Amino acid sequence: MQTPYRLAQTLGMPVVSDVVKLTVDGRNAVIEREIEGGGREVVEVGLPCVIGATRGLNEPHYPKLPEILQAKKKEIKLIPIAELGLSPARAVRRSSSWRPPPKEARPGSWKGPPAKRSSSSSAC
């Protein structure tokens, strides 16, 4: 489940994963998340943020046929960006490409062919 972490890094936002309960309170979100051993942890994070959800977070709503027919008749209102008090540059954020951060060398990693490595290492 790397998607929330990569998305958060790209957008420069905080991330919380394994969320089982979410409550939005103004500019903050109170989040209950699952931790190792089956425990739960409560975290408060500022909005906007990226949330990685688990199955227990949401009960899906399956619309009934009358609801679908009513939705087809609803008018979709377009609101100009200026009416929302935003500039076009601030309202749209585009990412041309995303590349993962460069991997750092792990401590104690070996370089070169195996024959060279065994001759240069000292015996224990």
- The CB density around residue 54, as the number of other CB atoms within 10 Å, is 14
> Does residue 43 contact residue 54 with C-beta atoms inside 8 Å?
no
How far apart CA 79 and CA 100 sit, in angstroms, is: 36
Q: Which among 25, 63, 64 is positioned nearest to 47, based on CA atoms?
A: 25
pLDDT digits (tens, 9 = 90+) for 70-121: 999 999 999 888 888 777 776 666 666 667 777 766 666 566 666 665 555 5
Q: Is the peptide bond before 88 cis (omega within 30 degrees of 0)?
A: no
Going by DSSP bridges, is the β-strand pair 15-25/50-53 parallel, antiparallel, or unpaired?
Answer: parallel
pLDDT digits (tens, 9 = 90+) for 40-71: 999 999 999 999 987 767 777 889 999 999 99
- Secondary structure (3-state) at 40: strand
**SS3 sequence of 56-83:** HHCCCCCCCHHHHHHHHHCCCCCCCHHH
